[in-house]
Amino acid sequence: MENKNPIELGSFWLPRAGSTLAEHIDAGWAAAYWVSVLFFVLVTGAVVLFAVKYRRRSEHDKTSPIDHSATVEVVWTLIPLAILIALFFVGMRGYVHASVAPAESYEINVTGEMYIWTFTYPDGTTTVNEMAVPRGRPVRLILSSKDILHSFYIPEFRVKQDVVPGSYTSLWFEATDTRETVLLCTEYCGSGHSDMLATVKVMEPSDFEKWLEGNNNSDLPPEELGKTLFVKRACATCHSLDGTRLQGPSLKGLFGREEELADGSKVTADENYFRDSLFNPQGQIVRGYPPVMPSFKGLLKDREVDALIAYLKTVK
């Protein structure tokens, strides 16, 4: 479905509009933009005109004795004041609309941490770096952070909100088109900040229900489930499978290998090592790498942990 929002067509340099909030936000932005363009032209034009018209033509030219005009001063004070008041109400209209979520909103809990987004749905479904929402239904997000300050931003939906540790913030939107878009963090949160991306999938309500039902991957064999989870849980953001050095150590040929830890001790990368690394990642930091891996405790079921281990055993 293609968005035919007239505001979007007039603001082709903005991301395409994908929510009902976009009309209000884009209207405020366009109003402020074109008022700025108008006054830039007027002021710059007046400067050029006066510089040419009133330039000094000879050594005998005298400065005009007129030092001010009360009428001009009143006009250039009242007109900008009226325009600013009008812009205030345009902005306030969009702000109020974006601040109050409809009572029937579908709620999703969002957790930000270095460097992933986790989404928890009312039925208990949990996803990492992938959020699905139904088209045409208001969605309210309840945001929190496990570590430091992040900022949740979906450009096409025109929503942005700080994600604060030790507190809850929220935002809402209603997606208008079935398509995929991007979610990113806009608050610098460390060396992996630029990788803190997620996919937002807007689906028809019936497809969304099927997505929820099928997201448990219960019919996949362990190795296939582990491979799927490795992608969905954003493990590839910090761990490569080909030996490339990223935020965390490469997992290529890791199983059964001896790793040196930051405290100088050594540990064999067996099943217990992998499980402890998922649930208590700060307990065994590999030498030469920062302690930035988030804990997946409460996010992974035992079967999913077993599947990840089965998959990593095949990565040679």
Residue spans of the domains in the chain: they are 104-213, 220-312
pLDDT in tens, 57-75: 888 877 777 778 889 899 9
Tens digit of each residue's pLDDT (9 = 90 or more) over 93-130: 888 888 888 989 999 999 998 888 989 888 878 888 89
Apex 171 CA angle, 86 and 211, nearest 5: 135
Question: Residue range 124-150: average pLDDT?
Answer: 91
Chain-wide mean pLDDT for the chain? 85
Look at residue 163 and tell me whether its pLDDT is greater than 80: yes
Domain 104-213: homologous superfamily in CATH: Cupredoxins -  blue copper proteins (2.60.40.420)
CATH number belonging to domain 220-312: 1.10.760.10
What's the pLDDT band for 161 if we cut at 50, 70, 90? very high
- 239-273 b/e with 16+ CB inside 10 Å = b? bbbeeeeebbbebbebbeeebeeeeeeebebeeeb
Judge whether 104-213 and 220-312 match in fold: no
Cα-based angle 175, 178, 182 (whole degrees, multiple of 5) = 70
- CA distances, 161 to each of 143, 158, 164, 313 (Å): 8, 10, 9, 40
